[in-house]
Structure 1
Amino acid sequence: MTGRLSGRPRTGVGVLTVLFIFISLFIIVENLMVLLALLRFLRLRRWVHCCLANIAFSDLLAGISYLLNICLSGPTTFLLSPELWYIREGLLFTTLAASTFSLLVTAVERYSTMVVPVTESRSTKLVRVQGLIIFCWLLALAVGSLPLFGWNCLCHIEHCSSLLPLYSRSYIVFSLGLLGLTLLGIIGFYCTIYYFVCTNAKHVAVTSQSRRAFHLLQTVLIILGCFVICWTPLFLYLLVDAACSPPSCQSPLGLEWVLALAVMNSAFNPLIYSLRSSEVRKAILALLCCACTLAGVRPPACCQQVAEITSGSSNESSLKHRSSVRLSRNLSFRSPVTSVSSVPSQ
C-alpha cells in the first residue's frame, strides 16, 4: 500500500549498503576513541568532561544502532516479527534522541556558566549534570519504546507511515515536535551565548581573552550549521510523510540518504565538542600513543604529554574552578572582560 516494496533488492549487498556500513563503523571508532580518552586520562573530573563523555557514548550507541539497522534491513526485514522491528527502529530513535538531549544539557550548562553564573561547588554542579544526563536517557528510552508498547498502527493501517511502516503518523508527529523543540532550545541557548559574547567582546582589547571569545563564537557557528545541515532534510521528509495518507499520497523515497545524513551528526559531534578542546586533543593523542606502545610500535616524542595530562589535569582543573568561582561572584553584564575570560575554563 505504501509502495515501499517496489524496486527492493532481493539478494546481495549493494554499494550503498557498504557505504552506510563504513559510515557507521567510522562513527563507532571515532566516538569510542573519544570516550576511552576521557575515561582514561581526564577521568571525568569536571562537568564538561561528563557532558562530552555522555555525548560520545550516545553517539557511539547511535553508530551501533545504525549498523544493526542496516544489517537487519532489506530482505532480512521480512524475517522479523513486529516486536523485533519496533526494537530495531526504536534503538535508533532512542540513541538519536539521547544524543540530541545530551547536546541540550551541554547548552544549558554553558548558558548557566556564562550568562547566568551561579556560585556553587564543583561537586554540586557535577551531581546536577549527572542527574540531567540520567533524565535524558530515561526520556529518550521512553520516546523510543512508545511504539513497542502500543502507539503503533497495527490495528489502524490507514494511519501507518509510508517511510516507516508499522509506525503511526501521529507518533512521528509527536517525535518531531519533541525533537524540534529540543533543537530550537539548543539554538536559542547558543544564540543567546553568541549575543552575550558579541556584546561584551566590543569592550575587550585584542588579547588572549578576546581570542578565546572569538574561538567560542566559531564553535557556536559550527554547532548551529551542523545541526541545520544534518537534521533539516530528515525533519522535512518526516513532515511530508506525516501529511500523506497512503495509497492516495505516497511520501518521497530516499529515506536512507537523509537518515544517514542525520546519523553523520554523531560523527561531527566529536570534532566540534572534543577536538576543539586542547585538553581532549592531548588525551586522544595520549591514547593513540598508548595504542602504539601496546602494538609494539615505537611511539613518537609527543607521547611525553601522557604524564602531563595524568598529573597536571587535576591541579589545573582545581585552579580553574577556584578562579571561576571568584570571578562569578563579581560577574555581571558590566564586566565583559571577566565574563568572556571565564568561558574557556568551562
Structure 2
Amino acid sequence: MDSEWNTCNYSHNVTFFYNFVGKKISVVWTARDFVVIGLGLTVCVIVLLANLMVMVAIFLNKRFHFPIYYLLGNMAAADLFAGIAYANLMLNTGPWTSTLSKEQWYIRGALIDISLTASVANLLAVAVERHQTIITMQLHSKMTKRRVVLLIVCIWAVSIIMGLVPSTVWNCECDLEDCSTVAPLYSRRFLIFWAILNLLTFFVMAAMYTRIFVYVRYKSRYASEHSSEMQHSQTVVNLMKTISMVLGAFVICWTPGLMTLLLDGLLGQASHANTYEKFCLLMAQCNSLVNPIIYSLRDAEMRSTFKSILCCRCEQKTEQSRVITSPLSERRSSNKENRGCVEKSEDQTA
C-alpha cells in the first residue's frame, strides 16, 4: 500500500509538478503581474454585471418567457460563472500559485472547466431547439417550462461532472510522464479528449446552423409572396442571426485555447503551449463579455429592457426628490394664494 502511494506521488505538492514539467512559478511580484491581475479583475467585474443584467432582463420582461430565451439566460449564467472562475484564477496566480494546496489548485481548474462545459452544452441545446423549431417555421418552441428546467439542470450536472473528472479520476499523479505543461496536474490524455470533444461539438453546431440557414433562405423566397409570412420569416431570421453571432464569438474566442490544449496533449513540452497560454486565456475571458454586447446591439427589445433596468434607479431617485420637494412647493403655492387674497381684499376696501 505504501509503495503504491509513493508511486502515485500523492505526497508531492503543486510546486513539484510545476518543476517536473518545467513550468516556472513566479517568485516575486512584477509590474506585469499587477497589470494583468488589475485588468483581469476589472474585466471580471464587468462580466458579472453585464451578464447579471441579461438574466434580470429575461426574468422581468414577459416577452422573453420562452424556451429559447431561458436557454440564453442560462448561457448568461454560465458566463457569469465564468467571471467568478476567472476572478478566482486571478486571485490564485503568480507567486500565489506555490502556496496552493492540490485541492485548491484542482478547484481553480474545475471552475474554468465547468464554465466552458456549461457554455458548450447551452449552445448545443440552443442549436437543437432552433433546429426543431425553425424546420416547422415557428418562432418559439412548444417545450414546457418543466422540460426547460430539467434540461438546464442536466446541463449543469454534466458540467460539474466534467469539472470534477481531472481531480478525481483522470490526472497525472500516478503517471508523471503524462503531465500537461499548461496544467501540470492534468493528464495530457484528458486534455486531448476534452479538446477534441469540444471541437467536434463546434463542428456539429456549425453544421446544424448551416442547414437551418439554407432552409430558412428557401422558405423566405416562398414567403415573399405573403406579407404576413414574410414578416414572421424575418423575425425568425433576426433571432437566428443573433444566436449565430453568439456561436461565432464563442468559437473564435475558445478555439485558440482548445487547440493549445490539444497540442499540449499531443506534443507535451515540444508544443511550447505555455507561450500562448495567457493570450488564449484572455481570449476566453473576453467571450463572457461579448454576449451581452451582442444582445444589446441585435435585439431591440433586449436593449430597451436594459435601458429600463438602468433608468429604474434614476426614476426612483426622481420620485424621492419629488416627495421631498412637494411639501415645499405646496407651501409656496399656498403663500401665493394667501398673497393674492390679501391683494384682492385691499382692492375691495379701496
TM-score if structure 1 supplies the norm length?
0.76
Aligned to 1:235: 258
The change in CA–CA distance for 1:273 and 1:39 in structure 2 (over 3 A counts) is same
CA distance in 2 between counterparts of 1:110 and 1:249 reads 39
CA distance in 2 between counterparts of 1:53 and 1:136 reads 13
The change in CA–CA distance for 1:121 and 1:48 in structure 2 (over 3 A counts) is closer
What does 1:267-346 align with in structure 2 at a 5 Å threshold? 267-273=289-295, 276-294=298-316, 296=317
Aligned to 1:62: 82
Kindly indicate whether the alpha-carbon contact (under 8 Å) linking 1:237 and 1:255 is maintained by their aligned counterparts in 2: yes
Kindly indicate whether the alpha-carbon contact (under 8 Å) linking 2:202 and 2:251 is maintained by their aligned counterparts in 1: no
CA RMSD of aligned residues (A): 2.8
Aligned to 2:38: 18
Matched, 1:106 2:126: yes
CA distance in 2 between counterparts of 1:121 and 1:253 reads 45
Greater helix proportion: 2
Aligned to 1:178: 197
What does 1:218-229 align with in structure 2 at a 5 Å threshold? 218-219=241-242, 221-229=244-252
Q: Which has the higher contact order (CA 8 A, sep 6+)?
A: 1
The change in CA–CA distance for 1:204 and 1:255 in structure 2 (over 3 A counts) is same
Deviations 1:241-275 (A, max 9, x none): 011234x6643413121112122222122233565
Deviation of 1:17 (Å):
2.5
CA distance in 1 between counterparts of 2:125 and 2:237 reads 22
Q: Secondary structure, in 3 states, of the residue corresponding to 2:168?
A: coil
Matched, 1:168 2:168: no
Aligned to 1:200: 219
Deviation of 1:230 (Å):
0.9
Deviations 1:290-333 (A, max 9, x none): 12234x2589xxxxxxxxxxxxxxxxxxxxxxxxxxxxxxxxxx
Deviation of 1:221 (Å):
4.9
Identical aligned residues as a percent: 33
The change in CA–CA distance for 1:222 and 1:235 in structure 2 (over 3 A counts) is same
Aligned to 1:155: 174
Deviation of 1:180 (Å):
2.0
Kindly indicate whether the alpha-carbon contact (under 8 Å) linking 1:52 and 1:274 is maintained by their aligned counterparts in 2: no
Deviation of 1:125 (Å):
2.7
Deviations 1:167-194 (A, max 9, x none): 1111111211222232223212211211
CA distance in 2 between counterparts of 1:48 and 1:228 reads 20
Output the amino acid matched with 1:64. Answer: I
The change in CA–CA distance for 1:113 and 1:43 in structure 2 (over 3 A counts) is closer
Comparing 206-215 with 21-30, greater Cα deviation is found at: 206-215
CA distance in 1 between counterparts of 2:123 and 2:296 reads 13
Q: Secondary structure, in 3 states, of the residue corresponding to 1:202?
A: helix
Aligned to 1:344: none
Aligned to 2:17: none
Gaps of 5+ in 1: 300-346
Kindly indicate whether the alpha-carbon contact (under 8 Å) linking 1:2 and 1:250 is maintained by their aligned counterparts in 2: no
Kindly indicate whether the alpha-carbon contact (under 8 Å) linking 1:3 and 1:250 is maintained by their aligned counterparts in 2: no
Instruction: Give the greater-gyration-radius structure (CA).
Output: 2
Output the amino acid matched with 2:303. Answer: R
Gaps of 5+ in 2: 1-19, 321-350
Structure 1 residue ranges (4+ consecutive) displaced by more than 4 angstroms after TM superposition: none
Deviation of 1:136 (Å):
0.7
Deviation of 1:116 (Å):
4.7
Comparing 220-229 with 99-108, greater Cα deviation is found at: 220-229
Equivalent position to 2:286, from 235, 244, 264: 264
